Amino acid sequence: MNGTRAFIHELLEKPMSGEAIEQRSFDIIDKEACCNGFTVEQWPIVRRILHTTADFGIAGDVRFSGDAIHAGTSALRSGSRIFVDSNMIRSGLSIARLRQVQPEYEQGHVVCHVADEDVAQKARETGLPRSLFAVQKAREVFDGGIAVFGNAPVALLELNRLIMEEGIKPALVVAMPVGFVHVTESKEELMSLQVPFIAIAGRRGGSPLAVATIHALCSLVVQSGSQLNGE
């Protein structure tokens, strides 16, 4: 690479913060992909999902129940607990962002049992996935809680059963498990139930998409608060 200048010097000569880079990214997405038939409240969610995948094709797979935005922002405002099906989601969710919505949020509000030893033990004994027992262990979180799936279709299937058979009513379900076995079925079943949801239809999904959805809901609350305060 003799004589070639490292690209980063261009950035260092015109410094941009992480926030400025994010805003420029959003501007690019707005210019290239907005708004694909989504409402003005849905689009910021879709935009952040596009931001985290850099794949505009996934916009056509995003599904909202009619009440999803209101239900999700209300649950966050009231500090509802958040079940997540992967430690990557727990790690990616920003407690600082959650606290901008509801100062009471702390790490303990984000519940993930998939790596617990008792859950692993049950999986070994039964030959079933750990994610199933992680949902069962978190059962009391779901009524009124936010349920976030970015990994495990079996976890979503068990939540569907709790809704169908045991009358559990989550405040919002973020239904974005990814993969090839039981994935499409898990989402179609969820979307047939009478609960607020934001979903990625089909096989695609993933932990970053689920995190992006919650972060976008947080931003909606913060921005609407700013507008109410005339900022």
Q: Compare residues 52 and 73 and give the one whose CB is closer to a second copy.
A: 52
> Rounded to an integer, what distance in angstroms lies between the CA atom of residue 91 and that of residue 110?
10
> Rounded to an integer, what distance in angstroms lies between the CA atom of residue 24 and that of residue 129?
41
Q: Compare residues 4 and 229 and give the one whose CB is closer to a second copy.
A: 4
Q: Compare residues 69 and 85 and give the one whose CB is closer to a second copy.
A: 85
Point out which residues bind a second copy (CB under 8 A): 1, 4, 6-9, 11-12, 15-18, 21, 24-25, 28-29, 51-55, 57, 86-88, 90-92, 123, 126-132, 154, 157-158, 160-161, 164-165, 178-183, 185-186, 189, 192-193, 202-208, 211
Residue 70 Cβ vs a second copy, minimum distance, rounded to whole Å: 23
Element (H, E) at 164: helix 153-166
Q: Active site residue: 51, 113, 182, 215, which one?
A: 51
Q: Give bridge partners of residue 175 from the DSSP assignment.
A: 149, 199
Who's near 130: CB < 8 A, 6+ residues apart?
Answer: 114, 115, 119, 120, 122, 123
Q: Compare residues 144 and 179 and give the one whose CB is closer to a second copy.
A: 179
Kindly give the pairing relationship between strand 62-64 and strand 197-200.
antiparallel
Q: Pseudo-torsion of CA 153, 154, 158, 163, nearest 10°?
A: 10
Q: Compare residues 38 and 193 and give the one whose CB is closer to a second copy.
A: 193
Who's near 70: CB < 8 A, 6+ residues apart?
Answer: 196
Indicate if 113 belongs to the active site.
no
Q: Scanning the structure block, which residue is given the tokens 């949020």?
A: 105
- The tokens for 155 are 């976890």
- Going across the sheet that includes 110-111, the strands are 62-64, 197-200, 172-175, 146-149, 82-84, 110-111
Task: Please identify every residue annotated as catalytic.
Answer: 51
